[in-house]
Structure 1
Amino acid sequence: MPETHDIEAVVFDVLGTLVDEASGLRAAIRDAVPASDDASVDELLALWQQHVELEQQRIGEGHRAYANTEIIDAEAAGRVADHAGLADPATLARLATAGRRLPPWGDSVAGLERLAQRFPVLGLSHASHTALLHLNAHAGLRWHQALSAEAALAYKPAPEVYQLAIDTAGCPPERVLMVAAHAWDLRGAQATGMRTAYVQRPAGDPPASSDAFDWRFDGLDELVTALTAS
């Protein structure tokens, strides 16, 4: 486990780690299709998430040219609309931008503010430049800098995405801490030499027994306290 003085910059995943992506998308689907019951909304949410995951995977495997999250989310919204019989263009257009309006977890805003008094703090997100701008404003996330994977024309865990954060931090990767609620994301960061901290979230991807991350925390408050203790 690294000492606090070994860390010069802290990088956060955003979707799922600092904002509750599933709840935000679920609320947007319910607004678009108000007659749907809980089971139907969950089915439509799964349809959306499966599309996004598949398309990002296809891009990562070279089976599709890079498309940013604005494009992929619009495709996912279209699939939801087709499945639910949604035809109103204005409603569909609003649904397509649901990724701009995701709620923060209860400890995210205050945790970032506390941490930013001690370290340079960066966001590193799959969200496109435009979506990330609106999402930060909506959720109240304040960064020293927010980086979109769109700049690398790739999605995590592609190493060039993590390199964006390392280059921006301007220090060796072993002095940059990647924080995420997704073990797959931390494995990608670890492969580039970054330090890693897992933060538990209800919809995250928990570590496997074989994972050796530098830190594991139950929430953001715990992480901030550990990093700012000395």
Structure 2
Amino acid sequence: MLRDITTIVFDVLGTLVDEPGGLRIAIEEAGGSPRDADELLGVWQRHIEGEQRRIARGERDYVDSGILDREAATRVAQTAGITDAATIDRLATATKRLPAWPDSCEGVARLAARFHVLGLSNANPESLRALGEHAGLRWHGALSADAVEAYKPSPRVYRLAVEEAGGDPERVLMVAAHAWDLRGAGDAGMRTAYVPRPVGDPPAETDAFDGRFSTLAGLADALD
């Protein structure tokens, strides 16, 4: 049962906004062929995920998401034959313009009327602020993993959220479409709720999250 919750922490990329869909649009706007968009999106995603893993293993010094996005945009441009510098610059900031899922704005606003609502993201502070404004997310605040120079699922990132919420992890609910994210939050003592998205990481049979909801409205109903 989800009782005694005071703070709700949302994963942002993939849970509140359609990261792959928004990146695909940005790649096509930059000149990538629509028929190659999925391949180019894969180039972007593999670079980001691979470099975050290298940082986690200590194989690369920490750099923030803006640098990784710039590197990913450059790789996409090289693969697609895009050479215009201004176009590549804009592509590198695509994370700031990702679209919200249809139920995200209403769901966040409804929950924010009763709980302290925070975003928690691997995106750097500048990208996170711009994304929140672009997507229309009315949270009370957004925390960037950049503050602890680590990327989720590092325990340091979840501790950042717990500390911001007052220090009691059992009163903090992490909401995500990624099972790996919820496992990290659970290991930090946070309560966990899974909400599926078309691009998420579904739970395994062994995952015992505190709640599973088909929509954010369903989550809000359960917390009423």
> Normalised by the shorter chain, which TM-score bucket?
over 0.9
1:113 matches 2:95: no
**TM superposition shift of 1:9:** 0.7
Q: How far apart are the structure 2 equivalents of 1:101 and 1:72?
A: 16
Amino acid in the other structure paired with 1:22: P
1:174 is matched with 170
Q: Distance in 1 between matches of 2:59 and 2:219?
A: 38
Query: Over residues 60-115 of structure 1, what are the superposed CA-to-partner deviations in whole Å (9 max), with x where a residue is unaligned?
Result: 11111111110000000000010011100000000000010000000000111110
- 1:139-218 matches, cutoff 5 A: 139-218=135-214
CA deviation after TM superposition for structure 1 residue 219, in Å: 1.3
Structure 2 spans left out of the alignment, 5+ residues:
none
Q: Quote the offset at 1:171 in angstroms.
A: 3.8
Aligned twin of 2:89? 93
Please give the residue correspondences for 1:1-230 in structure 2 after superposition, counting only pairs within 5 Å: 1-3=1-3, 6-33=4-31, 36-38=33-35, 40-228=36-224
Could you tell me whether the CA contact under 8 Å between 1:127 and 1:149 is conserved in 2? yes
Amino acid corresponding to residue 158 of structure 2 in structure 1: Y
Residues in 2 aligned to 1:117 and 1:97: alpha-carbon distance in whole angstroms: 31
CA contact (8 A) 1:8 1:171 kept: no
Deviation at 1:221, TM superposition (A): 1.1
8 Å contact kept, 2:2–2:223: no
User: Which sits farther off after the overlay, 12-21 or 165-174?
Assistant: 165-174
- TM norm structure 2: 0.98
TM-score, normalization: structure 1? 0.96
Q: 1:142, CA displacement in angstroms? A: 1.4
Identity of aligned residues (%): 62
Tell me which amino acid in the other structure corresponds to 1:87: T
- 1:19 corresponds to which letter in structure 2? V
- Paired residues, what number? 224
Which consecutive aligned stretches of 4+ in structure 1 deviate over 4 angstroms post-superposition? none
Give 1:21 deviation, angstroms: 0.3
CA–CA separation in structure 2 for the residues paired with 1:2 and 1:137? 29
State the AA in 1 paired with 2:14. Answer: G
CA RMSD for the aligned pairs? 0.8
Letter in 2 for 1:2: L
